[in-house]
Amino acid sequence: MASILIRNARIISPADGLDRVGCVRVRDGVVADIGEKLDPQTGETILEAEGKILMPGLVDMHVHLRDPGFTHKEDILTGCEAAAAGGVTAVACMPNTKPVTDSVETVRYILEKAASAKARVYPVGAITKDLAGEDLTDMAALKAAGAVAVSDDGRPVPTARLMRAGMEKAEAAGLLTISHCEDLDLIHGGIMHLGSVSRELGVPGMDRASEDAMTARELALAESAGTRIHIAHVSTAGAVGFIRSAKARGVRATCETAPHYFLLTHELLRKRDADYRMNPPLREESDVNAIREAVADGTIDCIVTDHAPHAASEKADFEKAPNGVVGLETSFAASYTGLVKTGVISLNRLVELMSVNPARILGIPGGCIRKGCPADLAIADLNQVWTVEPKALHSKSKNTVFKGMTFTGKIVCTLCGGEIVYTCD
Question: In this predicted structure, what is the pLDDT of residue 307?
Answer: 98
One-letter amino acid at 295 equals: V
**pTM score, two decimals?**
0.98
Question: In this predicted structure, what is the pLDDT of residue 5?
Answer: 98
Domain 57-362: state its class.
alpha beta
CA distances from 11 to 66, 286, 424 (A): 34, 36, 19
Burial class (CB in 10 A: 0-12, 13-18, 19+), 189: exposed
pLDDT above 90 (res 425): no
232-281: per-residue pLDDT in tens?
999 999 999 999 999 999 999 999 999 999 999 999 999 999 999 999 99
User: What is the average pLDDT across 374-400?
Assistant: 98
314-350: per-residue pLDDT in tens?
999 999 999 999 999 999 999 999 999 999 999 999 9
Instruction: Band the pLDDT of 55: cuts 50, 70, 90.
Output: very high
pLDDT above 80 (res 357): yes
Burial string for 10-35 (b: 16+ CB within 10 Å, else e) reads: bbbbbbbebeeebbbbbbeebbbebe
288-312: per-residue pLDDT in tens?
999 999 999 999 999 999 999 999 9
117-171: per-residue pLDDT in tens?
999 999 999 999 999 999 999 999 999 999 999 999 999 999 999 999 999 999 9
Q: Helix, strand or coil for residue 183?
A: coil
CA distances from 21 to 38, 87, 336 (A): 12, 20, 20
Q: Which residues contact 12 (CB under 8 A, 6 or more apart)?
A: 18, 19, 53, 54, 55, 347, 348, 351
12-36: per-residue pLDDT in tens?
999 999 999 999 999 999 999 999 9
Mean pLDDT of the chain: 97
Handedness of CA 49, 52, 56, 62 (dihedral sign): negative
User: What is the average pLDDT across 35-40?
Assistant: 94
All structural domains of the chain with their residue ranges: 57-362
Radius of gyration of the chain (CA): 21
Q: Annotated active-site positions, please?
A: 306
Distance, first Cα to last Cα, the chain: 24
One-letter amino acid at 35 equals: G
CA distances from 234 to 239, 261, 265 (A): 7, 8, 14
One-letter amino acid at 96 equals: N
